[in-house]
């Protein structure tokens, strides 16, 4: 893939950038450039370019606005102490986007082109990667959408893949603290044969009303159960779940209708190496309640790119509550191990880190 570059003639001034990077928040500031490549059935992927960041002009009949044919990814670029910039398992994001795109009847962007696109943009905007103090990073958002102007219902014949970047502050400002969860018994996230395993905006659209309910109940996040029996724990709106047992065994819900997090799969490997085998299987909501009550479940945590690993506190539902599990020791150990690899402070025995520049 040949990538052309048109540098911005109005990049953010150094002084303003310093101000932004001191307190970036999440998803509100965007870098000076963006990456775009387009696809048509005849031309394949073509016209790859890094251009100044700016709004898109879309015809009101652009297909994605009507039928939500869209996939996305979320990953981070980390600055190491020697000034170099690295991404974490970018080929895993590329492979997942390929699986998501297949499910959404979108064309597949080859893995090496996905990684090259992210590398090109992050290199161009490397001054936007915050220093490693306080778990800051550059959040990278690749996405693909049906850009054909057509209201008929069929896979789009014109597709656009883009990458944008946004500096991100630490997810937890005053130190890591447990999230409280609301169990929704009314809404589900995904059913068998649906698109629960795909990273697509529609899954988030369908989770918002449940998340809103959780906030209304004074909780941080919502927990979804399986759609068929309403019995098995799936995941949160955007994070996977882990259950640590008193004997050191760890259980995480099996895949199929959940989104397979890259943090999730990294923790399976990391925990194994630390002597905690991980079982992937169904875990019922009764097992959660009873396990915490009996002390058999000693820790629960959630994981995803944004928060890395976060302890789970109490679980509430209509008419009841399960208290927070007793400990957060292994949760915090796994969190630290992962963060240390990402920021280059520990060895990377798995070969997960990819140097960008
Ligand atoms: C992205 C996402 C996750 C976490 O995946 P990571 O690759 O670990 O960031 C979990 N659940 C859902 C629904 C997601 O969209």
237 pLDDT exceeds 80?
A: yes
**Mean of the per-residue pLDDT values of the chain:** 97
179-342: CATH, from 3.50.50.60, 1.50.10.20, 3.20.10.10, 3.40.225.10? 3.20.10.10
Residue spans of alpha helices (H) in 45-110: 64-67, 90-103
- Spacing, Cα 24 to ligand 1 middle (Å): 22
Provide the CB-side half-sphere exposure for 78 (13 A, CA): 26
97 pLDDT exceeds 90?
A: yes
Residue spans of alpha helices (H) in 136-225: 201-216
Q: Whose CA is nearest to atom 5 of ligand 1?
A: 261
Separation between Cα atoms, residue 138 and residue 109, nearest integer Å: 22
Q: Tell me the helices (H) and strands (E) count for the chain, helix number first.
A: 8, 18
Q: How confident is the model at residue 23 (pLDDT cuts 50, 70, 90)?
A: very high
Q: How confident is the model at residue 175 (pLDDT cuts 50, 70, 90)?
A: confident
- Spacing, Cα 199 to ligand 1 middle (Å): 8
27-38 burial code (b ≥16 CB/10 A, e <16): eebbbbbbbbbb
Angle at alpha carbon of residue 91, lines to 259 and 179, rounded to 5°: 40
Query: Are 308 and 88 within 8 A, CB to CB?
Result: no
**What pLDDT sits at residue 48?**
98
Closest among 197, 167, 325 to 259, alpha carbons compared: 197
Closest ligand 1 atom number to CA of residue 73: 1
Distance of CA 214 to the CA centre of its chain: 20
Domain 3-170 falls in which CATH fold?
D-amino Acid Aminotransferase; Chain A, domain 1 (3.30.470)
β-pairing, 3-5 with 353-355? Answer: unpaired
What's the longest Cα–Cα distance across the chain?
Answer: 63
Give the phi and the psi of residue 144 in degrees, each rounded to 5: -135, 135
Strand, coil or helix: what is 247? coil
Q: Whose CA is nearest to atom 6 of ligand 1?
A: 261
* Pocket mutation for ligand 1, best pick of 199, 233, 236 (most atoms within 8 Å of C-beta): 199
Strand partners, 279: 251
Distance of CA 279 to the CA centre of its chain: 22
Distance of CA 304 to the CA centre of its chain: 6
Which tens digit of pLDDT belongs to each residue from 199-235? 999 999 999 999 999 999 999 999 999 999 999 999 9
Closest among 123, 126, 166, 158 to 142, alpha carbons compared: 166
Domain range summary for the chain, segments of one domain joined by +: 3-170, 179-342
134 pLDDT exceeds 90?
A: no
- Cα distances (Å, whole numbers) of residue 274 to 125, 330, 341: 36, 10, 14
- Residue in the structure block whose two tokens are 């809103």: 212
- Cα distances (Å, whole numbers) of residue 329 to 221, 324, 325: 22, 13, 11
Separation between Cα atoms, residue 335 and residue 244, nearest integer Å: 14
- All residues at 6 or more sequence positions from 282 whose CB lies less than 8 Å from its CB, including other chains: 232, 253, 254
Count other Cβ atoms within 10 Å, centred on residue 282.
15
Q: How confident is the model at residue 186 (pLDDT cuts 50, 70, 90)?
A: very high
Give the phi and the psi of residue 8 in degrees, each rounded to 5: -65, 140
Closest ligand 1 atom number to CA of residue 237: 13
> What angle do the packed helices 262-273 and 329-342 form, to 10 degrees?
110
- Ligand 1 pocket (Cβ < 6 Å) reads 74, 199, 203, 235, 238-240, 259, 261-264, 304-305
- Residue in the structure block whose two tokens are 């590398």: 119
Which tens digit of pLDDT belongs to each residue from 269-297? 999 999 999 999 999 999 999 999 999 99
**What pLDDT sits at residue 170?**
86
**What pLDDT sits at residue 72?**
98
Looking at the whole model, is its pTM more than 0.85? yes
Average pLDDT over residues 49-65: 98
Tokens describing residue 85: 């910039």
Average pLDDT over residues 332-347: 97
Separation between Cα atoms, residue 160 and residue 148, nearest integer Å: 9
């Amino acid at each position: 893939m040949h990538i052309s570059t048109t540098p911005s003639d109005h990049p953010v001034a150094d002084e303003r950038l310093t101000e932004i990077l001191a307190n970036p928040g999440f998803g509100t500031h965007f870098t000076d450039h963006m990456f775009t490549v387009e696809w048509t059935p005849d031309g394949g992927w073509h016209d790859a370019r890094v251009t100044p960041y700016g709004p898109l002009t879309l015809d009101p009949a652009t297909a994605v606005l009507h039928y939500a044919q869209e996939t996305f990814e979320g990953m981070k670029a980390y600055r190491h102490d020697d000034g170099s910039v690295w991404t974490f398992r970018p080929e895993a994001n590329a492979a997942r986007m390929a699986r998501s795109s297949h499910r959404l009847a979108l064309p597949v962007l080859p893995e090496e082109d996905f990684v090259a696109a992210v590398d090109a943009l992050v290199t161009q905007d490397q001054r936007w990667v915050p220093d490693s103090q306080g778990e800051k990073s550059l959040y990278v958002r690749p996405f693909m959408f049906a850009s054909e102007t057509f209201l008929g219902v069929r896979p789009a014949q014109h597709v656009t893949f883009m990458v944008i970047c946004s500096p991100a502050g630490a997810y937890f400002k005053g130190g890591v603290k447990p999230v409280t969860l609301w169990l929704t018994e009314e809404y589900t996230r995904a059913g068998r044969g649906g698109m629960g395993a795909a990273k697509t905006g529609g899954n988030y659209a369908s989770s918002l009303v449940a998340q809103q309910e959780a906030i209304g109940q004074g909780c941080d996040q919502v927990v979804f159960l399986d759609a068929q029996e309403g019995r098995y724990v799936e995941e949160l709106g955007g994070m996977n779940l882990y259950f640590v047992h008193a004997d050191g065994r760890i259980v995480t819900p099996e895949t199929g209708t959940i989104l397979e997090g890259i943090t999730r799969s990294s923790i399976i490997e990391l925990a194994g190496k630390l002597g905690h085998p991980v079982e992937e299987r169904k875990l019922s909501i009764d097992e959660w309640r009873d396990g915490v009550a009996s002390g058999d479940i000693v820790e629960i945590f959630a994981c995803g790119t944004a928060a890395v690993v976060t302890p789970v506190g109490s679980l509430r539902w209509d008419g009841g509550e399960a208290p927070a599990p007793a400990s957060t020791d292994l949760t915090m150990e796994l969190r630290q191990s992962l963060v240390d690899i990402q920021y280059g402070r520990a060895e990377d025995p798995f070969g997960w880190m990819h140097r960008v520049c």
